[in-house]
Structure 1
Amino acid sequence: MLPPIFSGKWPLNPTTKLVSAFSFLVFLVLDFLDTVLCFVYRGIDEFLEGQVSMCYCRNREQTQENATVEGELSETLFGRKNVFRETGFLGFSRKWKNSSEESVNFQMGGSRWSDCGCESCLSWMSNGGDHNLHVRIRQPSQQETIDEKSCEKTVVENVIFLHGFLSSSSLWTESVFQNLSKPVNRSYRLFAVDLLGFGMSPKPRDCFYTLKDHLEMIEKSVISPFQLDSFHLVAHSMGCNIAIALAAKHSKSIKSITLVAPPVFPSEFGAKRVLEELAKRKIWPPLLFGSAVMSWYEHIGRTVCFLVCRFHKAWEKLLKLLLRKKNLHFMIMDLARHTHHSAWHSMHNVLCGGNKSMERYLRVLSDAKVKICVVHGDHDRTAPVECSDNIKRMALNAEINIIRGANHRTVIFGREKEFTRNLELVWASLASHS
């Protein structure tokens, strides 16, 4: 039997019904606005770029005629309900020609007119063609690599860190990297990755940001160049889905995987149901409403990113002035360090569409007897704590650690030292198997 949060059988009282009715009206207006914006962006894209860029306002059959990645794209890209689109409003029943559909393979295309063109956001395009992910590395010091008692070299172990949605490698450099202790008889080389489309990593316009795309870039940027034949994985939120897939692919090399607030839903959920759980179409609370707007409305989301991400330098200067601070918190900075294209596709293809593969991947890890540790806050409203119970059902060897009073963010922040010590205990517990 599914937990109540997954069953959708909560009783409705009069106040809830009133809020639901108001929500319906609000989202009806958003349906109309997104439909109109589709035509607006078609016109602007064609005028400024000479072609109409692909969107997902049409049905799956029309959009995937020329696609070479069928099976990797999430059904939620095409299956988002819109009253006006489904009734053929403004000609949506017609088949639109789209010149950009000619190229659907992974290409390192440049930025779009609606993306930020600052030096930081375009740095990946000017590094001599080496379009690897941006990786922050913490190498063990010479003192850490020598055991003080025996004066012999310690064992150096590798750890790859993957951040979540609308975040970057700063999540780990500002927490774990600064609190790592000096373990006995071993040291750690840490790799904090900016995932494809986020932070300072490449943000190609001709990419679907599928699980396969993210995995290939991590392999190309970290595993292959540093010749990692064994490593630990630590991931937060959306990064957990990528980490599970990466670990399953490299099950012979992975030593342990730590999943923090993993958004892994029951295997019987389709992609659409996952989207409904992650981004419920409700106007309250505000965070959930914002998540729904950015997840369900492609063109409204692009408008928000145009106003926030494209002009993030101006917003940063304004916030610094208002808050009277020289530096903003890295989490505020990370919110705008992506493009709508990269965030939109990662949200749908990794979080929603990728969920269907999680059970298969977790069974591979369970069969390979990989140590799986899950850390979850019991006040997490972004990825409900029931997700960890679901992982336990898929991988019986998974160890679940519930942090009381913690949410999606405070499961790490506010307890950075404790969190890092627990990671070290996980890694140390496998020392005898090295």
Structure 2
Amino acid sequence: MRKAMRGSSISVRRAMAAFGSALNDVISLIVFSFLDLLDILFCFLYKILDYLMEAEWRPCYCSSSPKDMITSIGKILVSESGGSKVVTLSSTKLQLEDISDTLYSRPCLLSDVSRLTVYQLCRLKNISSSDASTVISSRGGVVVSSTSGNPTTTFTVNSAIIQMLRGKIGSPKSHPVPRWSDCHCANCNPISQDTLFVKAQGPQDGKMVEEDVLFIHGFISSSTFWTETVFQYFSSDAKSRYRMFAVDLLGFGRSPKPADSLYTLREHLEMIERSVLEPYKVKSFHIVAHSLGSLIALALAVKYPGAVKSLTLIAPPYFPVPKGEQQATQYVLRKVAPRRIWPLIGFGASMLCWYEHLSRTVSILLAKNHRFWEIAFRLITFNRVRTYLMDGFFGHHHIGAFHTLHNVICGSAGKVETYLDVVRDHLNCSVTVYHGRNDELLPIHCSYAIKSRVPRAQVKIIDSKDHVTIVVGRQKAFARELEQIWKNAKS
């Protein structure tokens, strides 16, 4: 009898779970179809507002215009099978810089219909390669053909990328920085545009530094994720031996937020080198990184294989791409942002990933007006709740966040396996991976996938903790664990 009742209860739970999943799918389809349409409407709205405020509109990835592609020198986007690259042409070298195709190719029903309509209009106009040098492609870019004595070469170019790079290739900037929709305060617009904001903490009273530690925060966060948590809980012994650096990544916190940057993995690495490794003469170091920062940490470790003493990754966004998957970047995009309304943190990630103009709206409402929200939070909480996480969120930049999300998380889809192989075969450092069992944004198997690639990696699953509370809320214990990792690495 009890077995029958238990079996019946399990069947009911399974039926309820199946019903809930189906309901989530149906509601998600309706909600995201509406958001697809809303993002298109906001695209037109921002073009009008940008033109009224600045006499030109900000380039976006919704569509491309052939006249925007005309440039005699600089960079173009080359679309290849399995990825895309920005090609820099010069007399001395050919530099390739990876750009994720998820920036300009995020398939949805309304965007596909829109692009198909544009493509059919072009066919009706009978535009041929002999009559024009640029042709609108069905992917929302421009196809540029070259037949000067060589076999025809076709490139897919996106106008937003070209326009954002014009400032880098010597063309005068016609728009102000910051833009009207960005925050104008001093914290969001530092005087120095060449280096990141760095919070350094080291031995006092002239004591010698024994080792260096670099802390890298996650997406839409800042150095306060570390300085307001674990920094204050390190032991006096650790503070007397280690020099610790917590950076605000490019486009976040109090670091520069250049409007013409594509916020590639290469740019993030170069800024860390210029802001920490070079000025502080760091020769060897430990790395502690959270979420998005884990990908930057892996790239940094691969670039300096002999310098890294230990590698600690918290909730790394690593999704192994199945064999046979033709579009690795699109696969990771679907994993990170599944276009579902539940769980809510996944819904938020989908909003930021899929909708360029809706995410800009959120940035205007929150980041541009962060001073108002900071005051409001202090009044509501009577200063009883620390708001450093909110400060990190409000301090982000729309262009920086949107491009970093696509170019680092999605764009590194085909690289992470290579990075992990290098860590496994060519680095002698210890590798420790932390993950919260209740993390609804990044599943636990992301961390286990790293161990399957790097067998010596130690994976520690923390019960009752999620993507943020894996550090915040257990900072004292985590500080002690980090100190032990560093000591073991030295021995």
Are the aligned partners of 2:202 and 2:239 in contact in 1 as well (CA < 8 Å)?
no
- The residue number in structure 1 matching 2:352 is 294
Instruction: Label 1:117 to 1:62 Cα distance change in 2 as closer, same or farther (>3 A).
Output: same
State the shift of 1:205 in Å.
Answer: 0.7
Q: Which secondary structure does the structure 2 equivalent of 1:302 belong to?
A: helix
Assess, with a 3 A threshold, how the Cα gap between structure 1 residues 158 and 282 changes in structure 2: closer, same or farther: same
Tell me which residue corresponds to 1:364. 422
SS at match of 1:355: coil
Structure richer in strand, relative to its length: 2
Separation (CA, whole Å) in 1 of partners of 2:408 and 2:241: 32
Q: Does 1:271 align with 2:329?
A: yes
CA distance 1:13–1:72, change in 2 (3 Å): same
Q: Does 1:323 align with 2:381?
A: yes
Aligned to 1:212: 266
Hey, what does 1:427 align to over in structure 2?
A: 486
Aligned pairs for 1:374-389 within 5 A: 374-389=433-448
Select between 37-46 and 242-251 the one with higher mean Cα deviation: 37-46
What is the aligned-residue RMSD (CA, Å)? Answer: 2.9
**Alpha-carbon distance in 1 for matches of 2:43, 2:239:** 59
Residue 132 (1) aligns with residue 217 (2):
no
Q: Is the 8 A contact 2:53 2:180 kept in 1?
A: yes
Letter in 2 for 1:415: R
Separation in structure 2 between the aligned mates of residue 60 and residue 82 of structure 1, nearest angstrom: 21
The 2-side partners of 1:185 and 1:326 are apart by 28
Pairwise CA distance, 1:89: 7.3
Which of 162, 180, 183 is equivalent to 1:101? 162
1:9-408 mapped onto 2 (5 Å cutoff): 13-58=18-63, 67=76, 69-70=85-86, 72-88=98-114, 92-93=118-119, 95=136, 101-104=162-165, 107=168, 110-122=177-189, 124=190, 126-127=191-192, 131-142=194-205, 145=207, 156-183=210-237, 187-268=241-322, 270-325=328-383, 328-368=386-426, 369-408=428-467
Q: Which deviates further from its counterpart, 109-118 or 322-331?
A: 322-331
Query: 1:72-105 deviations in whole A, cap 9, x for unaligned?
Result: 1112112212322211279654749958824527
The separation in 1 between residues aligned to 2:238 and 2:179, in whole angstroms, is 50
Query: Which deviates more from structure 2 when the two are superposed, residues 394-403 or residues 29-38?
Result: 394-403
2:164 and 2:261 in contact (8 A); partners too: no
Q: Could you tell me which runs of 5 or more consecutive residues in structure 2 were left unpaired when the two chains were aligned.
A: 1-14, 78-84, 87-96, 123-135, 143-158
Using the size of structure 2 for normalisation, the TM-score is: 0.77
Cα displacement string for residues 294-314 of structure 1 (whole angstroms, at most 9, x for unaligned residues): 211111111111111111111
Amino acid corresponding to residue 360 of structure 2 in structure 1:
R
Residue type at the aligned position of 1:206: D
Identity %: 38
The code of the aligned residue for 1:228 comes to V
Q: Residues of 1 paired with 2:483 and 2:67: CA distance?
A: 50
Question: Which is worse superposed, 251-260 or 102-111?
Answer: 102-111
Once the 2 structures are TM-superposed, how far is the Cα of residue 415 of structure 1 from its aligned partner? 1.5
8 A Cα contact 1:105 1:207, kept in partner: no
User: Greater relative contact order: 1 or 2 (C-alpha under 8 angstroms, separation 6 or more)?
Assistant: 1
1:274 positional shift: 1.5
Q: 1:14 to 1:427 in 2, by over 3 A?
A: closer
Q: d(CA) in 2 for partners of 1:142 and 1:79?
A: 55
**For the residues of structure 2 that align with 1:325 and 1:51, how far apart are their CA atoms?**
42
With normalisation by structure 1, the TM-score equals: 0.87
Gapped regions of structure 1 (runs ≥ 5): 1-9, 146-152
CA drift at 1:207: 0.6
Do the aligned partners of 1:231 and 1:255 also contact (CA within 8 Å) in 2?
yes
Distance across 2 between alignment mates of 1:412 and 1:274: 25
Instruction: Indicate how the Cα distance of structure 1 residues 25 and 399 shifts in structure 2: closer, same or farther if over 3 A, else same.
Output: same
Q: Aligned partners of 1:312, 1:14: CA distance in 2, in Å?
A: 40
Question: Cα offset for 1:289?
Answer: 1.7
Q: Provide the rounded CA distance (Å) in 1 between the counterparts of 2:238 and 2:348.
A: 46
Deviation at residue 59 of structure 1 after TM alignment: 7.8
What is the CA-CA distance between 1:265 and the residue it aligns to? 1.1
Helix, strand or coil at the partner of 1:28: helix
Partners of 1:52 and 1:100 within 8 A in 2? no
Contact between 1:156 and 1:187, CA under 8 Å: does it hold in 2?
yes
Bigger Cα Rg: 2
Instruction: Read off the aligned partner of 1:72 and give its amino acid letter.
Output: D
Runs of 4+ aligned structure 1 residues displaced above 3 Å come to 58-66, 89-100, 105-109, 182-186
Q: For this pair of structures, how many residues does the alignment match?
A: 410
CA distance change for structure 1 residues 118 and 381 in 2, over 3 Å: closer, same or farther?
Answer: same
**Could you tell me whether the CA contact under 8 Å between 1:56 and 1:63 is conserved in 2?**
no
What is the DSSP-based 3-state SS (H/G/I as helix, E as strand, rest coil) of the residue aligned with 1:190? strand
Following superposition, the deviation at residue 178 of structure 1 comes to: 0.6
Residue identity matched to 1:78: Y
Q: One-letter code of the match for 1:230?
A: S
**Residues 185 and 42 of structure 1, relative CA distance in 2, 3 Å threshold:** closer
Secondary structure of the equivalent of 1:310?
coil
Q: Distance in 2 between matches of 1:62 and 1:236?
A: 42
Residue aligned with 1:67, SS: strand
Say if 1:89 and 1:61 are closer, same or farther in 2 by CA, change over 3 A.
closer
User: Per-residue deviation at 1:198?
Assistant: 0.4
Q: Is the 8 A contact 2:318 2:446 kept in 1?
A: yes
**Deviation string for 1:316-358 (max 9, x for gaps)?**
2222223333875100121110111111011111111113211
Shift of 1:184: 8.2
Amino acid in the other structure paired with 2:214? I
CA-to-aligned-CA distance 1:344-388 (integer Å, 9 cap, x gap): 011111111113211111111211222211111121111111011
Q: Which amino acid aligns with 1:210?
A: T
Question: CA 1:61–1:235 in 2, change beyond 3 Å: closer, same or farther?
Answer: farther
Displacement of 1:219:
0.3
Aligned counterparts of 1:344 and 1:353: Cα–Cα separation in 2:
12
Q: CA deviation at 1:62?
A: 11
Which AA in structure 1 matches 2:199? R
Alignment partner of 1:402: what SS? strand
Structure-1 separation of matches of 2:430 and 2:68? 41
Q: Deviations over 1:222-262 (max 9, x none)?
A: 00111111111110010001000011101111111110111
